[in-house]
Structure 1
Amino acid sequence: MVGRSGMTAPFWKQKTLEQMTRDEWESLCDGCAKCCLLKLEDEDTGEIAYTKLHCRLLDGQACACMDYENRKKIVEDCVILTPQNVAEIKWMPRTCAYRLVLEGKDLPDWHYLVCGDRNRVHTTGNSIRGRTVSEDTVFDEDPEDWIVDWEGNEP
């Protein structure tokens, strides 16, 4: 698709999530790692609360899974995003590219597919880098003690 400027529109504006190649799909992830945070759901209201605790497989400094290919085998309740389930996952952050593309919205200026800088998600404070702890390091406290308001990222 060619826009008014004569430039070809980027793939995420031309294709649905289902039409994307595996590489295109994977490239949508901005590396914020917010999907790897432990989240709590209020049983009565269904409201989702984010915590400062991340999955034990997440490298909190790199904002990357330490065993991406085997994550579901190791962490049974890991949710693997697919074009088919993104719409049903209530806890995806508002800034998540998968959610934004599904909703027909633009990617944020700090997304590396827009700005070309993979580190920008971190330097702009849009990732969890250095602001969380592994779920395995917390033993005596309840997860509720770790609830945090990740500015602008509640579902």
Structure 2
Amino acid sequence: MRERFWERLSLEELTSDEWEALCDGCGQCCLVRLEDEENQEIVTLSVACRLFDTRACRCSDYEHRFDRVPDCLQLTPARARAFHWLPETCGYRRLAQGKPLPEWHPLRSGDPAGARRAGVSMHGMAVSEARVPDRDYEDYIIAVMPCRS
């Protein structure tokens, strides 16, 4: 990877390794989100994708995730700009907005557990969707984001 690439290059200029390195490992993008069709609110649950390993805070089958979870969304530079539900701390979102990575980000700190130490990680906080029936989702709401006009 190129030295301090995140400070010098646009998202579109990154190699695949550099792109992957922007992930801070928080796991928040793996949480189930529901959009209310009436008012376009986005509801975030403490329920994670069935492939999310809550201990490692990573996808358990990252290489095959799109085959195994058809509604898994691949993050792209355009989506990093458009997905307003990505957390404010997300490296992809921050760079898309022209903001610096947080000091705890693994690229800056060298600490792969930076997100966990910063308190933004879903490590041990989420439950697998395989363990929660759809009818109980309401019990797992952790955030409601109003629609964007």
> When the two structures are superposed, what TM-score results if normalisation uses the length of structure 2?
0.89
What does 1:48-67 align with in structure 2 at a 5 Å threshold? 48-67=42-61
Matched ranges for 1:127-146 at <5 A: 127-139=121-133, 141-146=135-140
Work out whether residues 18 and 84 of structure 1, in 8 Å CA contact, stay in contact via their aligned partners in 2. no
What pairs up with 1:15-54 in 2 under 5 angstroms?
15-54=9-48
Q: In structure 1, the residue corresponding to 2:78 is in which secondary structure?
A: coil
Q: Secondary structure at the match of 2:104?
A: coil
Look up the SS of the partner of 1:107 in the other structure: coil
Distance in 2 of aligned mates of 1:123 and 1:101 = 21
Q: Identify unmatched segments of 5+ residues in structure 2.
A: none
Q: How does 1:1-155 map to 2 (within 5 A)?
A: 10-139=4-133, 141-149=135-143
1:25–1:140 distance in 2 versus 1, CA, 3 Å: closer
Residues paired across the two proteins, number: 143
| Alpha-carbon distance in structure 1 between the residues aligned to 2:84 and 2:36 | 13
Instruction: Tell me the distance in 2 between the aligned counterparts of 1:46 and 1:110.
Output: 33
Aligned-partner SS, 2:142: coil
- Structure 1 residue 40: deviation in Å? 1.5
Q: Percent identity?
A: 47
Deviation at 1:43, TM superposition (A): 1.7
- TM-score normalized by the length of structure 1: 0.85
Q: Structure 1 CA distance, aligned partners of 2:48 and 2:76?
A: 21
In structure 1, the residue corresponding to 2:46 is in which secondary structure? strand
After alignment, is 115-124 or 27-36 more displaced? 115-124
CA RMSD in angstroms, aligned pairs only: 1.8
Which whole-Å CA distance do the structure 1 matches of 2:100 and 2:43 have between them?
25
> Which is greater in Rg?
1
Higher helix share: 2
Choose 134-143 or 102-111, whichever is displaced more: 134-143
